[in-house]
């Protein structure tokens, strides 16, 4: 399984590393923008997987590429919504630390 001279495993390793960096960032960082960026990391690690699997395993069809595109589109939409929210949060709390936003617990 060596297309383009790079084994599939390498792609997976990269994406896994990206994924866990994203998870780590999401859980640890307090800044909402950073957390949003972490989410982008997670999404893109998945995108890499989609594309890699598609071209290595099922080169005859394009489902994985399409899925990746959809994810990118959704991520864009999601990012815009998230940033809108963050701006509102900033207006209300004058900062965007996630720890301060616990008004709606129980």
Partner 1 sequence: MINFSYTVWILLIPIFMFLLLGLLGMKFKPLLSGVLGTLGLGVVMVLSYFAAYQYFFELPRLNDTYQQIVAANYTWLRFSDALQIKMGVFIDPISVMMLVVVSTVSFMVNLYSIGYMKGEKGFQRFFAFLSLFTFSMLGLVVATNIFQMYVFWELVGVSSFLLIGFYYERPSAVAASKKAFIVTRFADLGFLIGILLLSFYTKTFDFLSLTGPQGIEITRNLTQTFMGMSVATWALLLIFMGGAGKSAMFPLHIWLPDAMEGPTPVSALIHAATMVVAGVFLVARLFPLYSFAAPDALTVVSYVGGFTSLFAAVIACTQFDIKRVLAFSTLSQIGYMMLALGVSGYGGEKGLGYMASMFHLFTHAMFKALLFLGAGSIIHAVHSNYMYDMGGLRKYLKITHWTFLIACLTIAGLFPLSGFWSKDEILVAAYNHNKLLFWIEYLVAGLTAFYMFRLYFRVFWNKEPHYHHTPHESPLVMTIPLMFLALASIFAGFLPFSHMVSSDRLPFATETNLTVAIPSVAIGLLGILIAFLLYKKDNNTVEKIVKGLGGVYKTIYNKFYIDEVYLFVTKKIIFNLISRPVAWFDRHVVDGTMNGIAGITVLTSRKIKGSQSGQLQHYAFFFVLGAIVFALIFIYLW
Say if residues 71 and 49 touch (Cβ distance below 8 Å).
no
For partner 1, which residue of 27, 60, 61, 94 counts as binding (CB under 8 A)? 27
- The Cα 81–Cα 101 span in angstroms is 17
Kindly tell me which residue out of 8, 14, 23, 71 binds partner 1, with binding defined by CB under 8 A. Answer: 23
Between 17 and 73, CB nearer to partner 1: 17
Distance CA 53, CA 84 (A): 34
Task: Name beta bridge partners: 97.
Answer: 31
Contact between 99 and partner 1 (CB under 8 A)?
yes
Residues that bind partner 1 (CB under 8 A): 23, 26-28, 30, 98-99, 101-106
């Amino acid at each position: 399984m060596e297309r383009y001279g790079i084994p599939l495993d390498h792609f997976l390793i990269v994406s896994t590393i990206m994924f866990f960096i994203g998870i780590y960032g999401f859980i640890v960082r307090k800044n909402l923008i950073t957390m949003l960026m972490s989410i982008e990391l997670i999404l893109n690690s998945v995108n890499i997987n989609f594309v890699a699997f598609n071209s290595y395993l099922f080169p005859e069809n394009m489902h994985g590429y399409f899925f990746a595109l959809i994810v990118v589109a959704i991520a864009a939409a999601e990012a815009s919504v998230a940033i809108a929210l963050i701006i509102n949060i900033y207006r209300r709390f004058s900062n965007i630390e996630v720890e301060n936003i616990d008004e709606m617990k129980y």
